[in-house]
A and B are shown apart, each in its own frame.
Chain A
Amino acid sequence: MVLAQILLNGVLLGGLYGLMALGMALVWGVLNIVNLSHGALIMVGGYVVYYLFTLAGIDPFLALPIAMAVMFSLGFALQWGLLNLVVRSKMLNTLLITFGLDVVLTFTAQLLFSADFRTINPSYAGANFAIGGLTVPTVRLAAFGVAVGLATGIWVLLNKLPLGRAIRATAQNLTAARLYGVNPRMLYAVTFGIGAALAGAAGGLYGMISNLTPYIGASLTAKSFVIAIIGGLANPFNVILGGIFVGVAEAVTALYIGPTYTDVISFGLLVAVLVLRPSRAVRAA
């Protein structure tokens, strides 16, 4: 019974992990930018939902789409005004500039929001229900549902809609895409905006399950990085599966080996994937 509960915990948490990594995988795959500020964007999204909830009294789940719109605008502006300058340049440049962005976002957040801990705490945050002896936390289940829903949305966007075809075309062959009338600057900005919007949704959900400080970004970036590589950059569902895989691996590790070792396992998995399937790390888009 304990094992079943722990597997359930791992799957539910893994869904959220997957959503965290989804935006990073999209930006990485299409723009070839390993966005080191991705975790900071998750953090900012969390604060947007927090303030919509505490100041405007909007239910956090209803605030998610608003936060996503805000984060889309922020992401669009960042790519348009800043990252487009380095989008086709060396990896080192994009790493440096997104690292710098991470520092700026983190410390701006500390100035604006202080280092206090914030939790997004609606009345139902602790609610749960029982199925066959298992306790299912409602918010975690809902977060899992949102993650799968958004992954489905991204899959439909990339595979069925003209915008998605243009995004994929630009990633595959820039010249050909240009000849068909695609404006790459605009498209990059839209893609990064979508990545930031996904980060925003993940941040809101994270704030309901855990808590927000300006400093959560770095560890979330690392986790997203691991999952993006394990899941691959091509298919949104694989990213969610990658998240679930890591979530379950961590939960089982905590049970059988000890909670101290969960990071060893998730980064160990990363190493294993890199050794067994090195092509994933090189370029999977």
Chain B
Amino acid sequence: MKRAFAMTGAVALLAATALTAAPALAEDVITLGASVQMTGATANTGRYYRDAYQMAVDKINAAGGVKVGGKTYKLALKMLDNQSNVNLSVRQYVQLISGDKVNFLLGPFASNFVISDSSVAEKYQIPMVQGGGSSGQIFSRGYKYVFGTLPPAGNYYASTIEMMSKLNPAPKTVALVAADDSFDVSVAKGTRKLLEKAGMKIAVDQEYREGNSDFSSILTQVKAAKVDTVLWSGHETEALNFIRQMKQLNVDPNGMYAFTVGVPTSDFRKALGADANYAFGMTTWLPDASLKDKWFGDAAQFAKEYKAKFGYDPDYHAASGAADVETYVYAIEKAGSLDPKKVRDAIAASNFQSLYAQVKYAPNGQIDLPQIVVQIQKGELKPIYTTQFINKPDYPVPAWSKR
């Protein structure tokens, strides 16, 4: 058996290396390297990065490229498929730096990947601007070369909890359900503090294994505790299972239920149909024309072009990925050099308006943005709350049996 597994591992590795394409190296090219989830369990979110990186690079090249000290460079993208495997992605980043000699790094999706991959960037002192990891663990290690365009995971529920205290009747008890990977652990940790500050009681606090598909035990406890609100954190596929099983087991929180991920994506609404209604969620980004951009015009045009090109709607992952590419262009032009250290310092001083947000990094390398609370109302995604109500929430959420 042991030999069998060693053999199968070798075959898988061989297949993986055969799949990576040869780099297109020409003169006057700045190569950005990334390893993203094109296949495997998180390919569904990984594609946002793959497509957004590609689209941003194409757009910037079409507009002339990057000017460095009187010379014009084109951007090139070297992307590898990490197959949703952290260990493989670390090896690929080493390969990108030492073998392919890319100039700078873009990130993978998800905090647990970024935590490991950014160590490679730090070791080789090559900047990594990433839009896929938000866990505090990424930015608390004193690293100088990792930058993030997703806001801190611990604050994801801040705006939701602020909104909850303004609802009538305001929820008093909460069930907190979170996965056990680094992003969700950070969310749960931050949310516990926020709830305590808001004077709400955590009646059920459950952690589940990442990738879990059966929530019936947790839901039975949530139901028995008769909570007002369920705050949930995990991955999109698990969110779908959770909501379907809520219905199957008649779990009706008195007030509302909210998710960190899933709700803003069109995929979520498509998979659940009418059962997606009333779910609260959050996003750092909505395709709004008020977000001006040097290359795309504004966020609304970005979303339109993206949809036309790839056949599905972008969400904040895609916008965050595009902002990562733009960060490099601004920083390289300002540094007037391709030296990793000079570009790193220019990135740290970034301050520009983009289709994603006003991009500005805190001293630890992470952006800070408010989460917009959203809700699905009659099959449509509606922004509900940022610091005040934008639209009226459907609250309290009706019981499953009364829909």
Contacts and interface: CB of A to CB of B under 8 A. Distances in A.
Contacts of B1: 91
Interface stretch (A38-46, A188-196, A255-263): A255-263
Contacts of B84: 215
A135 interface: yes
B312 to A, nearest CB: 9
Say what secondary structure dominates the interface of chain B: helix
Most buried by A among B84, B217, B240: B217
A126 B400 contact: yes
B250 interface: yes
Nearest to B246: A126
B198 interface: no
Contacts of A254: 208, 217-218
B151 to A, nearest CB: 25
Given A119-B271, A128-B249, A5 B220 contact: yes
Given A119-B272, A259-B208, A259-B217, A213 B240 contact: no
A6 B217 contact: yes
Interface string A207-221: 001110101000100
A157 interface: no
A258 B41 CA distance: 23
Contact of B248 (A5, A139, A250, A261): A139
Interface residues of B, number: 49
B212 A262 contact: yes
Contacts of B180: 260
A75 to B, nearest CB: 22
Interface string A108-148: 00100001111101000111100000010101100000000
B249 A137 contact: yes
Contact of B224 (A2, A96, A119, A260): A2
Contacts of A56: none
B11 A100 contact: yes
A118 B236 CA distance: 12
A58 interface: no
A74 B139 CA distance: 50
Given A211-B237, A213-B41, A259-B208, A95 B4 contact: yes
B73 to A, nearest CB: 33
> What is the size category of the interface that chain A forms with chain B?
35 or more
Interface string A199-238: 0000000000111010100010000000000000000000
Contact of A215 (B40, B209, B270): B40
Interface in B159-181: 180
A258 B271 contact: no
B39 A110 contact: yes
A75 B228 CA distance: 49
Nearest to B41: A215
A62 interface: no
B400 A259 contact: no
A135 B224 contact: no
Contacts of A213: 41, 44, 237
Most buried by B among A2, A9, A121, A139: A9
Given A135-B250, A259-B218, A260-B180, A115 B212 contact: no
B8 A99 contact: yes
A103 B237 CA distance: 21
B4 A91 contact: yes
B168 to A, nearest CB: 28
Nearest to B216: A9
Contacts of A179: none
A176 interface: no
Contacts of B380: none
Interface string A1-14: 11001100110010
Contact of A117 (B40, B214, B221, B271): B271
B273 interface: yes
B177 to A, nearest CB: 9
Contacts of B213: 210-211
Contacts of B267: 116-117
Interface string B320-354: 00000000000000000000000000000000000
Interface in A250-278: 250-251, 254-255, 258-263
A23 B220 CA distance: 31
Contacts of B216: 6, 9-10, 13, 251
B71 to A, nearest CB: 40
A211 B240 contact: yes
Contacts of A250: 214, 217
Contacts of B236: 117
Contacts of A103: 12, 15
B368 interface: no
Nearest to A281: B1
Interface string B63-94: 00000000000000000000010000000000
A137 B221 contact: no
Contacts of B39: 107, 110, 115
Interface in B123-162: none
B248 A126 contact: yes
Interface string B31-46: 0000000011101100
Contacts of B364: none
A128 B240 contact: no
B192 interface: no
B240 A119 contact: yes
Interface in B199-221: 206-209, 211-218, 220-221
A260 B217 contact: no
23 contacts: A5-B220, A6-B217, A9-B249, A13-B216, A91-B1, A91-B4, A96-B4, A99-B8, A100-B11, A115-B39, A116-B267, A117-B44, A117-B236, A119-B244, A121-B244, A126-B275, A137-B249, A213-B44, A213-B237, A215-B41, A219-B211, A258-B207, A263-B209
Given A116-B271, A126-B400, 16 more contacts: A5-B220, A9-B217, A95-B4, A96-B7, A100-B11, A103-B12, A117-B271, A127-B248, A209-B244, A209-B248, A215-B43, A250-B214, A251-B217, A258-B206, A259-B212, A259-B215
Cβ-closest 8 pairs across A and B: A126-B247, A254-B217, A259-B208, A137-B248, A9-B216, A115-B43, A115-B44, A210-B213
